């Protein structure tokens, strides 16, 4: 049994749990991975386009006012502490802590007018990733399937020796956003790894391994057992697909960051930037949907920048340089490798932050701190590649960054853009637990893109 243990994240309205990917035997009521694949086949996989999405998910809800929708002329009590800088695209400006963004603005577009009405992490998370705000408080999971799980169900769980969906990085209630299947059940969940195999904490047959070499050696032993035993030949096609994902050279190669040059790895930066690099390797190898949960930092470990959690200006000064480096490295890498027609990069969270800031005594620091609270009225989203029109700003918020002033967009429109890029009908209907049909989205792909 191969367990890849995932990391944890706590939000202001939740508790932490551990989550596991178990390859070969998942521990879901004793159901093997092969059995899961057989169940998934009943969904009738759709024919996938040769396209993919990398979703960089900012867990906790990033402040649009300190990233992509600066309001330096707003009144005192609203405007942030940072300035804005011009980019290579006329009329597009970003936070002055994002200087690397400025030179490749022709390779991304900014949406500034996405809005919804759900200010809780759970409901906002559901709204942006499923199109429906319903949350199962008992299971701490969305009730409706998230976009990555939809792709997993429609395309089948395995294609050419690679999983269709992969999640990694910072979590929400112990799972990577975008990967859970809601009421469909865990059979359609996307697999989750922790920081990619090179940095994971794997366990094989109950023994903790010290390094990646030990893990690969153990997998090689399993391969030899398969080759030398006639019993493996008796496995049905689904078990063989499961086995191929676990032990196949293609998956092992895709997850092996050591195959990248040190120059490339340095280009992405340390920490979660290496996950962004791994995401590029995965889509290049054929994965359709990859989520990278983007953490915060030491000041605030996610993007939930309430004043009680940490000082927002200090948190941004800590996290944005690395964020700037990783996001722009991924964008440049995708373009330079000729993947920009195939791969769409999306950077977003569940909502923005309040236009008016708050000062409170920090829970940990016991000092007066500056922060912003949850705000679904306006949020900013970066989109790059995917054969879309880049170098533009879509929508505009009012003078305080509170609500859209032009071109309001709904999360359904964002999801419709996702599905359209992947070749999925955005209005494709599914039957819910009450026997009622519901569409994947009620939106339309963003015409400006």
Residue-level pLDDT at 335: 98
CB atoms closer than 10 angstroms to residue 14: 15
386 close to 8: Cβ distance less than 8 angstroms = no
Residue-level pLDDT at 160: 82
Pairing of strands 165-169, 289-294: parallel
CATH no. of 2-439: 3.40.720.10
Distance CA 67, CA 62 (A): 8
Structure token pair of residue 155: 């395309």
Structure token pair of residue 198: 């090179």
Residue-level pLDDT at 404: 98
Which residue's entry shows tokens 């402040």? 63
61 close to 232: Cβ distance less than 8 angstroms = no
94 close to 84: Cβ distance less than 8 angstroms = yes
Residue-level pLDDT at 48: 56
Distance CA 316, CA 370 (A): 12
Residue-level pLDDT at 434: 84
The C-alpha R_g of the chain, in whole angstroms, comes to 21
Residue-level pLDDT at 241: 55
Q: How far is CA 99 from CA 88, 327, 328, in A?
A: 11, 12, 10
Residue-level pLDDT at 26: 31
Burial class of residue 262 in the structure, from the number of CB atoms within 10 Å of its CB (0-12 exposed, 13-18 middle, 19+ buried): exposed
Which stretches of the chain drop beneath a pLDDT of 50?
Answer: 1-10, 14-45, 195-213, 215-216, 219, 229-238
**Phi (first) and psi of residue 325, to 5 degrees:** -65, -50
Instruction: Write the secondary structure of the chain as one string of H (helix), E (strand) and C (coil).
Output: CEEEECCCCCCCCCCCCCCEEEECEEEECCEEHHHHHHHHHHHCCCCCCCCEEEEEEECCCCCHHHCCCCCCCCCCCCCCCCCEEECCCCCCEEECCCHHHHCCHHHEEEEEEECCCCCCHHHHHHHHHHCCCCEECCCCEECCCCHHHHHHHHHCCEECCEECEEEEECCECCECCCCCCHHHCHHHCCCEECCCHHHCCEEECCEECCCHHHHHHHHHHHHHHHHHCHHHHHCCHHHHHHHHHHHCHHHHHHCCHHHCCHHHHHHHCCCCHHHHHHHHHHHHCCCCEEEEEECCCCCCCCCCCCCCCCCHHHHHHHHHHHHHHHHHHHHHHHHHCCCCCCEEEEEECCCEECCCCEEEECCCCCCEEEECCEECCCEEEEEEECCCCCCCEECEECCCCCCEEECCECHHHHHHHHHHHHCCCCCCEEECCCCCEEECCCCCCCCCC
Residue-level pLDDT at 227: 52
């Amino acid at each position: 049994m191969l367990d890849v243990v995932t990391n944890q994240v706590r939000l202001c309205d939740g508790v932490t749990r551990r989550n596991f990917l178990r390859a070969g035997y998942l521990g879901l009521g004793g159901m093997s991975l092969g059995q899961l694949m057989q169940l998934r086949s009943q969904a009738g996989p759709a024919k996938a386009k040769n396209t993919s999405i990398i979703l960089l998910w900012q867990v906790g809800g990033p402040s649009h006012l300190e990233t992509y929708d600066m309001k330096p002329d707003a009144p005192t009590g609203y405007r942030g502490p940072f300035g804005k800088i011009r980019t290579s695209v006329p009329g597009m400006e970003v936070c002055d802590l994002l200087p690397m963004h400025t030179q490749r603005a022709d390779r991304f577009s900014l949406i500034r007018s996405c809005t919804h009405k759900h200010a809780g992490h759970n409901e906002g998370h559901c709204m942006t990733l499923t199109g429906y705000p319903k949350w199962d408080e008992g299971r701490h999971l969305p009730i409706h399937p998230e976009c990555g799980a939809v792709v997993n169900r429609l395309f089948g769980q395995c294609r050419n020796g690679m999983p269709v969906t992969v999640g990694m990085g910072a979590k929400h209630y112990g799972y990577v956003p975008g990967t859970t299947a809601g009421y469909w059940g865990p059979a359609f969940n996307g697999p989750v790894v922790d920081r990619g195999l090179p940095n994971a904490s794997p366990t094989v047959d109950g023994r903790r391994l010290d390094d990646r070499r030990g893990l690969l050696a153990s997998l090689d032993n399993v391969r030899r057992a398969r080759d030398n035993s006639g019993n493996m030949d008796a496995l049905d096609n689904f078990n063989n697909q499961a086995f191929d994902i676990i032990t196949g050279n293609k998956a092992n190669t895709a997850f092996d960051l050591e195959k990248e040059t040190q120059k490339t790895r340095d280009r992405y930066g340390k920490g979660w930037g290496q996950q962004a690099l791994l995401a590029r390797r995965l889509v290049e190898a054929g994965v359709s949907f990859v989520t990278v949960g983007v953490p915060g930092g030491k000041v605030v470990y996610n993007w939930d920048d309430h004043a009680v959690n940490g000082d927002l200006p200090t948190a941004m000064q800590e996290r944005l340089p690395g964020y700037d480096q990783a996001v722009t490295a991924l964008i440049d890498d995708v373009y330079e490798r000729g993947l920009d027609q195939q791969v769409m990069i999306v950077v977003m969270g569940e909502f923005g932050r309040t236009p008016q800031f708050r000062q409170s005594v920090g829970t940990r620091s016991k000092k007066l701190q500056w922060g912003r609270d949850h705000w679904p009225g306006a949020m900013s989203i970066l989109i790059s590649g995917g054969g879309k029109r880049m170098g533009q700003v879509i929508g505009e918020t009012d003078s305080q960054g509170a609500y859209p002033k032009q071109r309001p967009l709904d999360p359904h429109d964002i999801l419709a853009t996702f599905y359209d890029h992947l070749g999925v009908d955005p209005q494709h209907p599914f039957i819910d637990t009450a026997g009622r049909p519901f569409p994947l989205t009620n939106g339309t792909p963003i015409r400006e893109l």
